[in-house]
Amino acid sequence: MPELPEVETVKRQLKETIIGQKIQDFKLSGLRLRREIPSLSDLKNQTILNIFRRNKYLIIELNYNWLVIHLGMTGQLIFVDKIPLHKKHVHCILHFWGGHYLYYEDPRRFGSIDLYHKKDFSDYHQIPLFENLGFEPLEASFTFNKFNELFSKSKNIKSFLMDASFVCGIGNIYASEILFLSKISPKRDILDTSEPERKLLFQNIKNVLKKAIELGGSSISDFVHVNGQSGKMQNFYNVYGRNGLKCNCCNHLVEKINQNGRSTFFCPSCQK
DNA sequence: CGGGCGGCCTGGAGGC
DNA sequence: TGCCTCCAGGCCGCCC
């Protein structure tokens, strides 16, 4: 379940492994992901120049194109030196000159692979997918004052955290964790929060995401690193998946509720 | 117009 | 052992 920290982890690892690699060929499964995968024949003989992340999207910069990849819920990008013949859900393989491969595996096919021309979008920020996105939470330019200005109309606080048009990259897991550390109930409305609560929330958004990146993301369900190894953040959850267990801060049991069809985990004693 | 919810998918878990 | 149902959560489109 890749949220910002998992995608950032993959981005950093791709920077170490595929920058400078030149694409010789590609192969597609023929199955559609969220959308149809476009033909990648234009990418032959292009070199990978850089890797970026915006929200939960990876942006691979080539000589003439932006290749934009979303991991959906169960997507993996794996760098190997042999074609993955025995794998069931490989939908795209990039074959590099010199004999390495980057493959995209995604059982549930909730992800996406899109291709844009740099002549159409000289800066990847102009790509329509990124048009309505809010702040990147870990950028220094995202200050408390800018965050505080987002509290302009009534909205449930967990929905607010997960809404990328306000702040990008927070998914269901980290929303619960951020609210726990901020001692704010997920049932609250953002307009009912005090300034000290907002300051705490702002700091915890940055702190939780940073810690998760330092630990290489969360490997529950399918997420793994570019080399197949696991992240460690799942070992440090305070509330996510801990319903029925004792809260780490008090003796109350962690509860699980449903909000907008999603599970929310919280401690009703610590979070007011 | 905007908030909320269903659909897209598969695999794994749990019930009977 | 096998079949059924439910659940996982990102994102988009549709509906009210």
What pLDDT is recorded for position A239?
94
pLDDT value at residue A157: 93
The yes-or-no answer on residue A82 being catalytic is no
Q: Which nucleotide is nearest to A176 (CA to C1')?
A: C9
Active-site residue, A3 included: yes
Tokens of A18: 């595929």
Measured CA to C1', the nucleotide nearest A89 is B10
Rounded, the Å distance between the CA of A160 and C1' of B2 is 14
Bases in strand B with any atom closer than 7 Å to a protein CB: 3-11
> Between the CA of A251 and the C1' of C12, what is the distance in angstroms?
41
3-state secondary structure chain A: CCCHHHHHHHHHHHHHHCCCCEEEEEEECCCCCCCCCCCCHHHCCCECCEEEEECCEEEEECCCEEEEEECCCCCEEEEECCCCCCCCCEEEEEEECCCCEEEEECCCCCCEEEEEECCCCCCHHHCHHHCCCCECCCCCCCCHHHHHCCCCCCCEHHHHHHCCCCECCCCHHHHHHHHHHCCCCCCCEHHHCCHHHHHHHHHHHHHHHHHHHHCCCCCCCCCCCCCCCCCCHHHHCCCCCCCCCECCCCCCECEEEEECCEEEEECCCCCC
* Catalytic pick among A11, A54, A56, A242: A56
- The rounded average pLDDT for each run of 10 residues, N- to C-terminus, in chain A (272 residues) is 91 96 96 92 97 95 96 92 87 96 93 95 93 93 94 92 93 94 94 95 95 89 81 90 91 90 92 94
pLDDT of residue A166: 94
- The confidence score (pLDDT) of residue A161 equals 94
Q: Gap from A272 CA to C12 C1', in Å? A: 33
C-alpha–C-alpha distance, residues A151 and A160, integer Å:
9
What pLDDT score was predicted for residue A41? 95
Nearest nucleic acid nucleotide to A107, CA to C1' distance: B10
Res A219: pLDDT = 83
How much is the pLDDT for A102?
A: 96
Q: Write out which nucleotides of chain C lie closer than 7 A to a protein Cβ.
A: 7-12
Output the distance from A146 CA to B11 C1' rounded to whole Å.
42
Backbone angles phi, psi at A105, to 5 degrees: -120, 135
Q: Which residues, other chains included, contact A263 with Cβ-Cβ below 8 Å and sequence gap of 6+?
A: A172, A256, A257
Please give the distance of CA A198 from its chain centroid, rounded to a whole number: 23
Alpha-carbon span A137 to A31, nearest angstrom: 34
The integer distance in angstroms from the CA atom of A175 to the C1' atom of C15 is 27
* Length of chain A measured in residues: 272
- Strand C neighbours (CB under 7 Å) are A 1-3, 34, 55-57, 70, 72-73, 108, 110, 129, 162, 164, 171-173, 221, 240, 256, 262-263
Q: Phi and psi for A69 in degrees, rounded to 5?
A: -120, 130
Q: Model-level pTM? A: 0.95
